[in-house]
Structure 1
């Protein structure tokens, strides 16, 4: 583990949330999809299961996406803005059989607020450790997804949407075509 468990979970969750805004396809089309996202990425606390909550979570995505394209100073401005707007006050908490970790807003804060603050706290860790280069874009030419490279050797190139497999199949087919032509 390169970072604290809660930092890694927040980074992965933030990238996944950003990737739900996929051009023509809405990754969070309804409250049921938000329920699945909530469960898949291990969120806890308040979850209203309303259209208002869904709109608030969707509205957070462009702001988080900007982090993957920003320089350090802009990342810091975004992070500080998210923390300031949410009145974040970091505290150590323990719940759901998890060890102590940081929460900066109460568990009953709106889901979009908790998502914003947890992403901001995780990004703050990346900034402090000089590790913003771990925020990457998928290398597949037809993909606009973002990713967090948590590998020790910083070798991750593709998102979780199957792009690595597509790239491997394309490379295999190109090698086969080149071999049959020679």
Structure 2
């Protein structure tokens, strides 16, 4: 009888060992999969972060350049604004609002916590500017002065339109990936 107990005991121990061993192997595989998933997510995050940083840098350069161009040649910018077919009071406001808005938007794009709003505001501004150029190209205005600063005022209207469309798309892409980044950060917390 002692033999039978030990034989049954050995079988139970063998089954238990097999189950535990199999469970340990599965948990090791699960841990490895989670680590691989973490590595994959980290790579995706770094790609998103790099893309957001590149787009932010491009938009910062655009907004700072145009704001400085307008402010350094304020008289010319004011003359161009007054040639618009809009209320003169509105143009007086736009004289200071546009460069200040461009600089503020650049500052929003610098910090990670405010990048999303910088991307949204960039998308808004580029939509307005692109819409204006679309109206110019469609012939809605008799006079078509360009109140842009620097080298942008030397572009043809068609080239200016495509330039703006490019930066509008960059702003929208940046907004999308910044939003994804924010959602990923909320999931981690």
- Structure with a larger share of its residues in strand: 1
TM-score, structure 1 length as denominator? Answer: 0.31
Q: Highest CA radius of gyration, 1 or 2?
A: 2
Higher relative contact order structure (alpha carbons within 8 Å, sequence separation ≥ 6)? 2
TM-score, structure 2 length as denominator? Answer: 0.30
